[in-house]
Amino acid sequence: MTRIRTHAVATAAFDQVEKRRDLSARKKYGALAHKLPGMILQNGLAQATGFLLAKDGDEHRALLDDLGAVLRAGGTLDAPDRTALHSAIIRANLVQTLKLTRHALEASAWIKRYVQGVLRVDATGETLTEEPTS
């Protein structure tokens, strides 16, 4: 059976977020995941991934690793680690950058949605008590 790319991206995002249930910085990871789509839109993909790469927190490394895994699953970029991911992004030409940005926004939106639904963490890092709404 042929899978569409969006399904592969959604599945990979779910799998990555599911693995973060036991992360010691789960709430910080969740709050950061909520901010990632906006960071990409406001600052650009290269600067957003550079920020995550520069920070020393477990949540920053985990989110960048998860973004890379989701992009790999979607067939967008085959970077084996977070440094290679950032390197590929900053070396991309204009057309590649636009494609990477579009796919990273899609991936980060899925990650954000699963942080709400699976980890039950909101944008402030607090645990959600009610079922998430749209």
pTM for the full model? 0.90
In angstroms, the CA 38 to CA 60 distance is: 15
Task: Answer whether residue 21 is part of any domain.
Answer: yes
What domain count does the chain have?
A: 1
Q: Looking at the domain assignment, is residue 129 inside a domain?
A: no
Encoded tokens for 16: 């990555």
Whether the predicted pLDDT of 75 surpasses 60: yes
- Helical spans, DSSP H, in 74-93: 82-91
CATH number for the domain harbouring residue 82? 1.10.520.30
What does the pLDDT look like over 12-69, one tens digit per residue? 999 999 999 887 888 999 999 999 999 999 999 999 999 999 998 999 999 999 999 9
Tokens for 89, please give them. Answer: 């992004």
Q: So what's the pLDDT on residue 24?
A: 82
Position 127 scores a pLDDT of 85
Across the chain, what does the average pLDDT equal? 92
Indicate the DSSP class of residue 44: -
